[in-house]
Structure 1
Amino acid sequence: MEKKVTVRDIVKKKGREKIVAITAYDYVTTRIVDQAGVDIILVGDSVGMVVHGLPSTIPVTMDMMLLHVESAARARPRALLVGDMPFLSYETSIEDAVYNAGLMLKKGAEAVKIEGGSEVADVVKAMVRAGIPVMGHIGLTPQRHLLIGGYRKRGVRKPEAEKIIEDAKELEKAGVFSIVIEFTAADVAEEVTREVSVPTICIGSGPSCDGQILVLHDILGLSEQTPPFAKKYADLKTIILDAVSRYAKEVREGVFPGREHSFYSEAYNSREG
């Protein structure tokens, strides 16, 4: 068995080796992406949209996330398994934040991710003091899409770019081991990567970060709407549709199941003889 990836291993990759991260939400997908050799598997709150059909990540609950974290953890991945903290699981109080993050670890996560910059620095500090590794998330923060005016590009204007860079520095000081930068101008993400000593992991923020992350369903062609920054590496929707259509056709035509898919009683065989 290959060596287990730890938080320390991720930090050491900064400036030396690109970090490969991806989402997965259950035992099966976690097992498969881990076999592909990724470094980080994020059980993301995007599960609410891509698996449960919710309109955003806001309705996602702790119970939902804990269920998916526990399922993914059963795959015992070599990659670092990170649980995404859902909306209102860490904003209401520091005590709630630490408690809920602790529940993630009890279900098998090896770190947690929270959205926000300087406004969540105290939460990060408290989690780290409690022994919980934290991944930050700045730029486009989907849980705050109502506040920021939708799922829009971030860091295009100078004041916003400066705020993103400052947020990254505050998260670094608070103790995060890495920072996700989402849908942010590539030159701003590059500047953040230079300014902080922890790895940056981009999604839709250019090639200069220390690593990249994408949603599994986007790269497999299973998403209803693929973000402009995602790349589709397969078209599983077409493959699945074709397979199920052929199955339905064979059932209706009496082709499936065939004799090779069935077994018979001894009484039946003796009558045949």
Structure 2
Amino acid sequence: MSSQNSPGDNSTPSARKSITLHRLREMHAAGEKIAMLTAYDASFARLADEAGVDCLLVGDSLGMVVQGHASTTPVTLEEMAYHTRAAARGNRTAFLIADLPFGTYHEDPAHAMRSSAVLMGAGAQMVKLEGGGWTPETVRFLVDRGVPVCAHLGLTPQSVHALGGYRIQGRDEAGAATLRRHARELADAGASMMVFELMPSDLARGLQADNPGLMTIGIGAGGGTAGQVLVLHDMLRVTRGKLPRFVRDFVAEGNTIEGAIRTYVAAVKDGSFPDESLHAY
């Protein structure tokens, strides 16, 4: 059985112009919030794009929500490239970011460049890597060679075993000071965007204020960032078990999958999501 409206069908062009890195910077400078959502295949990428999502993240979270692993660490570069190609085929205008999976950028900057070339060749417009301290050298190496980079601080899922579980980061002054230092180093190295995951909202807001030109994207980090990201399966309440407490029931509000995504985008844009009362860690 085949679909008459396949993901590769270009018969219905989008009215929206393509979202570029330059356009995202313009949005940030103007104070417009950036709405990001994960996508792992062509159909959901196209649906999210048409619903107005600014950035699509092909996240290694697919290891958990698609493949059924207990963490993101088993995901391979080949699998990330496969899902990036699929999402790229469905996407029309959103800015497409792909995660560098665990073990694919850790040896040296040249290793990261080879891995980034695979994902960029698959359709990514930016790569994302986790952690601070040792990563600025890699970020600088990639940026100097034309690879836009999104950094990721706070809870870094690829390091979940070292962190002792999915714990809030930066709650004490020592942890906050480390995150402030890492954010500054990564921004200085040329990271254009940075995800802040599971940290106190006051800390995330301060990190954005300290680095005003940086596009910060929060997930469980309050509303003081330049934008928000959610895992698609969490947002649609497909994920089984306990959802993160900051996830709103967008499906109930939007009635359909497309309606849920549109409601999410609108809530990010008008600042009603996330609810600050759920980030008092």
Distance in 1 (alpha carbons) for counterparts of 2:178 and 2:25? 24
**TM score, norm. by length of structure 1:** 0.84
What pairs up with 1:219-230 in 2 under 5 angstroms? 219-225=235-241, 226-230=243-247
TM-aligned CA deviation for residue 233 of structure 1: 1.4
Aligned to 1:233: 250
Distance in 2 (alpha carbons) for counterparts of 1:153 and 1:100? 29
Task: Please list every run of 5 or more consecutive structure 1 residues that lacks an aligned counterpart in the other structure.
Answer: 241-273
TM-aligned CA deviation for residue 93 of structure 1: 1.8
Aligned to 2:24: 10
Distance in 2 (alpha carbons) for counterparts of 1:161 and 1:129? 29
Check conservation: 1:13, 1:199, Cα contact below 8 A: no
Distance in 2 (alpha carbons) for counterparts of 1:232 and 1:68? 26
Which of 97, 106, 130 matches 1:115? 130
TM-aligned CA deviation for residue 155 of structure 1: 1.1
Distance in 2 (alpha carbons) for counterparts of 1:67 and 1:232? 30
Offset from partner CA, 1:39-65 (integer Å, 9 cap, x none): 100000000100010110010100110
Check conservation: 1:220, 1:233, Cα contact below 8 A: yes
Distance in 1 (alpha carbons) for counterparts of 2:67 and 2:91? 24
Aligned to 1:23: 38
Check conservation: 1:11, 1:178, Cα contact below 8 A: no
Aligned to 2:84: 69
TM-aligned CA deviation for residue 162 of structure 1: 1.0
1:199 aligns with 2:215: yes
What pairs up with 1:58-97 in 2 under 5 angstroms? 58-97=73-112
Identical-pair percentage: 38
TM-aligned CA deviation for residue 2 of structure 1: 1.9
TM-aligned CA deviation for residue 227 of structure 1: 1.7
Offset from partner CA, 1:51-91 (integer Å, 9 cap, x none): 01011001010011000000000113211000111000101
CA RMSD of aligned residues (A): 1.4
Offset from partner CA, 1:139-161 (integer Å, 9 cap, x none): 00000011111110111101101
Check conservation: 2:63, 2:72, Cα contact below 8 A: yes
Aligned to 1:262: none
**TM score, norm. by length of structure 2:** 0.82
Distance in 2 (alpha carbons) for counterparts of 1:13 and 1:199? 10
Offset from partner CA, 1:177-229 (integer Å, 9 cap, x none): 11100001100000001011211100000011110000111111100132222
Distance in 2 (alpha carbons) for counterparts of 1:14 and 1:139? 21
Number of aligned positions between the proteins: 237
> What is the letter of the counterpart of residue 58 of structure 2?
V
Distance in 2 (alpha carbons) for counterparts of 1:110 and 1:61? 19
Task: Please list every run of 5 or more consecutive structure 2 residues that lacks an aligned counterpart in the other structure.
Answer: 1-14, 258-281
1:143 aligns with 2:161: no
Distance in 2 (alpha carbons) for counterparts of 1:168 and 1:13? 21
Check conservation: 2:49, 2:91, Cα contact below 8 A: no
Distance in 2 (alpha carbons) for counterparts of 1:205 and 1:77? 29
Moved over 6 A (4+): none
